[in-house]
Structure 1
Amino acid sequence: MSDAVEVRSRARGVLAATCISTLVVNANTSAVSILLPAISEDTGTSVQTLQWAVTGYSLVGAAVIVTSGSLGDVFGRKRVFQLGLLLFVVSCVMIALAGSGGLVIAGRVIQGAAGATILACGLSLLTVANKDAAQLRAVSLWGAAAAVGAAAGPLVGGVLVELSGWQGLFWIDAGVAVLCMVLTAATVSESRDPDRPRTIDYAGTVLVALTLTPLILGVTKSGDWGWISFATLGCFAISIAAGYAFIAVEGRVAVPLLDLSLLRNRVLVGSTIAILIGAGTINGLMYLLSLYFQDPSTLDFSSLQAGLATLPATIGLVVVAPFVPRLAKKFGGRQTIGVGFALTTIGFVIVGFVDASWKYAAFLLPLVAIAVGMGLSNGPASSAATASVPENQVGGASGVSNMARYVGAAVATALAATIYGTVIGNHTADGAPKGDALASGLAAASWMMAIFSFLGVLMAFVIGRHRAATGTLYDAASAAAAHTHTLPTSATAGRAAPERT
């Protein structure tokens, strides 16, 4: 075999391993909310407790997403990618064999670290294995795989619950991850960044987790403890102190998790907050709808029916996204972001008027509005994040926005779950029928997300003017993947994807 043929063969192997693993990770992530009622029934753990299977995953992902990329640069991207796949397999087996909700949550926490590592190092391997036009094509396919996985996850999860029980998803994912490990071992060459300092910001990673964990614990338990109780306020105090320590540490380490100088960039800060809001609201929505649709007191859907019912929000977002770069080029990125969040706000406001008598058809219009709105806002916000910085800071900007997605998902889901559960409990205690109590809980949480989405409209004014993507096929793939990962666009300095995002 000639050297050129061998290089092409290895590049195809890298592409297959990274795209398949990305598709599986994103499908797994988006499917879990659909599985929660089945897991709750099987393990005897309340759904309110099992929300940690969602928030714990995102919390750890926020702490690890940037660090795992740094570990790959220093110790070898292939090695760390394989470690991520191994952790993913272990977590899947652990969850599938779990006899209690606590073990499911523990497995999901491990899975959060594994998923973030697979995404960060997989993209790095892909960009190193390809150059120029081939690199853009490969990253486009990677982005498309991420988008398809995220969109199909709830439906796949629903199908597997019906066919094999909720454990089936994790057994299948473990098997696919093992195949990716074999493919990676056979086709992927090791690579490092020889110019990068070997120091890793472990303290920053720990402080991100220490900032988010008590914050989410305080929000989650506030209904039981009270918002002004010593325990709740103590959690918030620890979170604030850890956040302050994080800022202090980042200003001193050689290679920080977060380059604080990036926070002086108004466009980057505005787009990152917009990304955080978008990720938070879509994850909160999927969590709430999965529970509401499957409850016997409301629509009483099966897991499969619930997965099908969420398709307007998941697939709709992906279908709209590829057309967005050209709209943003024509009308302006911040205008497109503002319109997108306005539509999302309207959708949540409509759901805020939900009544126990609503049939599924009543949810269709607001779900489509939310999907279209998020499709309009996600792509331009991600594009703005990488277009607003010099070429040597593109990786840092991508890392910040990717971390923001996990933070938004963790905090918004915890807040939505808390509001939902608290309102249901209060109405039930007052003697309201179960269906009315559930509708009131969904309405209250939807109003909260409508407020968040309206803040996204305000972020469009903060972002200001920036370079716009030209609307290439690569831009379309980046926009489709924007609700899961930030990819550079044609507006990014240097245009090529960076080695680590």
Structure 2
Amino acid sequence: MPAIDSSKQDSRAAGLGVLLAACVSALVVNANTSAVTILLPAISQDTGAPVDTLQWAVTGYMLVGAAVIITSGALGDVFGRRRIFLTGLVLFVISCVLIAFSTGAAGVIGGRMIQGAAGSTILACGMSLLSVDSAGAGQLRAITFWGAASAVGGAAGPLIGGVLVGVTGWQGLFWIDAAIAALCVPLTLRTVRESRDPDRPREIDVLGTVLVAVALVPLVLALSEGGTWGWLSFPTIACLLLAVMGGVGFVIAERHATTPLVDLALLRNRVLVGSTLAILLVAGVINALMYLLSLYFQNPDGFGMSALEAGLATLPAAAAMIAITPLITPLAVKIGARAAVAIGFGLATVGFAALVFVDPSWSYGAFVLPLIVLSVGLGLANGPASSASTAAVDPDQVGQASGISNMARYVGGSLAVAAAATVSTAVSSGRAADGEPADAVLAAGLAGGALLMTLMSAAGVALVLLLRRHRSEPATAVHLAAAAAVTSHTIPTRPTGGA
């Protein structure tokens, strides 16, 4: 949807119904997403599935989300935003029920992949519904609420998941989420008007969506299983070749598509490319860190925490990222997005580097300062990058730029979790083969994953070369909400036109 000058449009507040439907569903989706890593040990114990296999409950969700998030927005523009939003809600309910009833890895992973499609559809179309139901300053207020709901959901998810494991079992999270999403269906039907984009061609880039999956799935499979198969084995090389072929095919398809999933011309915008890479890296290291920490904290050879205790143990990271939010945009305005991103990734590098030295003798307290430092750094890098991704393009390209950055968020998460899990397992296996104690083996695996995340964060500092010409917009409430929500979604900070 094209952005327009708010000074040329009267303010119109979003209706209470659409605001509730969009914000509540965004909160539930983001809480569900961030809670699942805390639940993996409990799911593993209950189903008998190895945690390494259940890793696909995280990466599968993100892979499908990456392929679907832009397409779902296009489907809403063509066939009706309310209709596609409702489809997302129904799919989300179905996926939650499937997961809650599952007694093995297949049901959990399959349900989570359906949930990836549902969650990305709910987020993309919920934002569109708010945009078309409001205008000007009223639209920015609605987006502010949506961003705040997304941020609260993402931060509270691990704690909610930990509480529910102890009270209801791990299935409780999915039953409650299913109930809330189901309640959003009649609310949407009764209060949200249908809308479409009459100027948009009716063609949907299905081929582009398929090729995203063709490129990503074998790549993640190679990263996940390469250590077991052998990095020079036929299956690993075949997966990597298929991923390259999928990527090349995607570029060719997008050049010839009537309505491409990604406008490749936008990739000539250095600021957009730099901010998108920053978002990919931040999403990657955050998801990989939460995956590794949740397993380490709950492993009997680590701290042996309960799911609730592990959820509480992640609070310093979440609190630090929330605390820095009000300072991100003013600081970026003062020193520039380039410097803010560089400082942010620099801090993250220091925090992750400290975790490389993790040792069985460490108490939980030794983790707190590194977690705070890296969380502040990632928040500082992520906020300006997210704002730059939509502010550095022409008004009529804001929707495409937002879609590209949101796809990057899913891609980064899926690739980094797979890579970090593989590195951690490889290091742990090597130490175990040398006869080291179980606690030392576990700590070495976490240290190996932390080294990978250190290198990824250090690479983020180099993005200043792409962001050097961009200055951040002055801080407003919507900028603060956007900065808070950046771990889950990129939201526009300028009013957009609706149909």
TM category, shorter: over 0.9
- 1:46 paired residue number: 50
Q: Which amino acid aligns with 1:56?
A: G
Q: CA deviation at 1:316?
A: 1.9
The answer as to 2:77 corresponding to 1:73 is yes
Q: Is the 8 A contact 2:32 2:157 kept in 1?
A: yes
Q: State the alpha-carbon separation in 2 of the partners of residues 9 and 455 from structure 1.
A: 42
Give the ranges of 4+ consecutive aligned residues of structure 1 lying more than 2 Å apart after TM superposition: 7-10, 497-500
Q: State the alpha-carbon separation in 2 of the partners of residues 269 and 66 from structure 1.
A: 17
The answer as to 2:446 corresponding to 1:442 is yes
Moved more, 317-326 or 253-262: 317-326
Q: CA deviation at 1:315?
A: 2.8
- 2:300 paired residue number: 296
2:271 pairs with one of 263, 267, 274: 267
Moved more, 460-469 or 112-121: 460-469
User: How many pairs were matched up?
Assistant: 489
- 2:325 paired residue number: 321
Q: Is the 8 A contact 2:13 2:135 kept in 1?
A: no
Distance change (3 Å), C-alpha of 1:339 and 1:499:
farther
Distance change (3 Å), C-alpha of 1:285 and 1:10:
closer
1:218 pairs with one of 199, 222, 241: 222
Q: CA deviation at 1:246?
A: 0.2
- 1:473 paired residue number: 477
Q: State the alpha-carbon separation in 1 of the partners of residues 37 and 496 from structure 2.
A: 32
Q: Which amino acid aligns with 2:132?
A: V
- Structural mapping, 1:260-409, within 5 Å: 260-409=264-413
2:34 pairs with one of 30, 37, 50: 30
Gaps of at least 5 residues in structure 2 are 1-10
Moved more, 300-309 or 471-480: 471-480
* Larger relative contact order, structure 1 or 2 (CA cutoff 8 Å, min sep 6): 2
Distance change (3 Å), C-alpha of 1:132 and 1:152:
same
Q: CA deviation at 1:101?
A: 1.1
Q: State the alpha-carbon separation in 2 of the partners of residues 10 and 383 from structure 1.
A: 23
Q: CA deviation at 1:467?
A: 3.5
Q: State the alpha-carbon separation in 2 of the partners of residues 315 and 180 from structure 1.
A: 29
1:249 pairs with one of 253, 259, 272: 253
State TM-score, norm by structure 2: 0.97
- 1:121 paired residue number: 125
Q: State the alpha-carbon separation in 2 of the partners of residues 38 and 261 from structure 1.
A: 46
Q: CA deviation at 1:9?
A: 9.9
- 1:496 paired residue number: 495
The answer as to 2:193 corresponding to 1:189 is yes
Q: State the alpha-carbon separation in 1 of the partners of residues 12 and 74 from structure 2.
A: 27
Q: CA deviation at 1:298?
A: 1.0
Identity over the aligned pairs, expressed in percent? Answer: 58
Q: State the alpha-carbon separation in 1 of the partners of residues 22 and 237 from structure 2.
A: 43
- CA offsets 1:174-207 (integer angstroms, 9 cap, x no match): 0000011111011000000000000000000000
Q: CA deviation at 1:312?
A: 1.3
Q: State the alpha-carbon separation in 2 of the partners of residues 50 and 323 from structure 1.
A: 37
Q: CA deviation at 1:403?
A: 0.2
Gaps of at least 5 residues in structure 1 are 1-6, 490-494
Q: Which amino acid aligns with 2:46?
A: D
Moved more, 462-471 or 389-398: 462-471
Q: CA deviation at 1:319?
A: 2.3
Distance change (3 Å), C-alpha of 1:264 and 1:9:
closer
Q: Which amino acid aligns with 1:14?
A: V
Q: CA deviation at 1:294?
A: 0.3
Q: State the alpha-carbon separation in 2 of the partners of residues 176 and 158 from structure 1.
A: 19
Q: CA deviation at 1:328?
A: 0.5
